[in-house]
Amino acid sequence: MDLDELRNSWKSLGTDSDALEPVNRRIASELAKGRAVNAQQKLARNYSRSGLAGIVVVLLAPVLVMILKLPAIYACIYGVFGVIMGLLNYRFSLQISKADYITLPVVEAMKSILSLRRDWIRLHIAGYTMGVIVLLTLLYGLLDLGSDAVAGFYVGLAASIPLVYFKERQNLRLIRSMQQEIRSCIEPDKA
């Protein structure tokens, strides 16, 4: 198949209007009723919910004192962690909902998504850093509670490390491939 044949093949590709019309009507009706949302809105909602999860962390902080009988300072550290993560996630959800990566020119849209992805990584790094500090502090407190609590802590930690590692490695690979793609559009001679 040469390029002319390719183009002719493309031109002969026909749309089945009869099949698409009811689909269009259904989508229009759902959208008019506010029932359909796009992926960007779903993602923004997810981060908004993660922001709410920060409140749950704050509400759970007193449990450390009341049930586990840890000193109040642990509850404070845990609560502050919840507030900061909640606010960061909520801020990120606003950033996603305001971003326009659909109607911009393709390369600009990719840059916009790349910038969001970088902020996303920063959010994760902030979360992991604070999470590790909170966990180590909690571990220090749990040492007094006996070996079962400490063992449970280590099991949780061991299970989450590989998950975090693979997830973040995937994210970084994706960012690198996007950077490469953008570079190849701006400087095709160097790509």
The CB-of-138 to another protein minimum distance in angstroms stands at 33
Query: Which one among 44, 75, 77, 113 touches another protein, defined by CB under 8 A?
Result: 113
**Token duo for residue 9:** 């093949």
The CB-of-117 to another protein minimum distance in angstroms stands at 9
Distance between CA 105 and CA 125 in Å, rounded?
30
**Token duo for residue 190:** 């160097």
Query: Which one among 9, 46, 115, 160 touches another protein, defined by CB under 8 A?
Result: 9
State yes or no: residue 115 binds another protein (CB under 8 A): no
- 45-82 burial code (b ≥16 CB/10 A, e <16): eebbebbeebeebbeebeebbeeeebeeebbebbbebb
Where does this chain bind another protein (CB under 8 A)?
A: 1-3, 5-7, 9-17, 19-20, 23-25, 27-29, 31-32, 36-39, 100-110, 113, 170, 173-174, 177-178, 181, 184-189
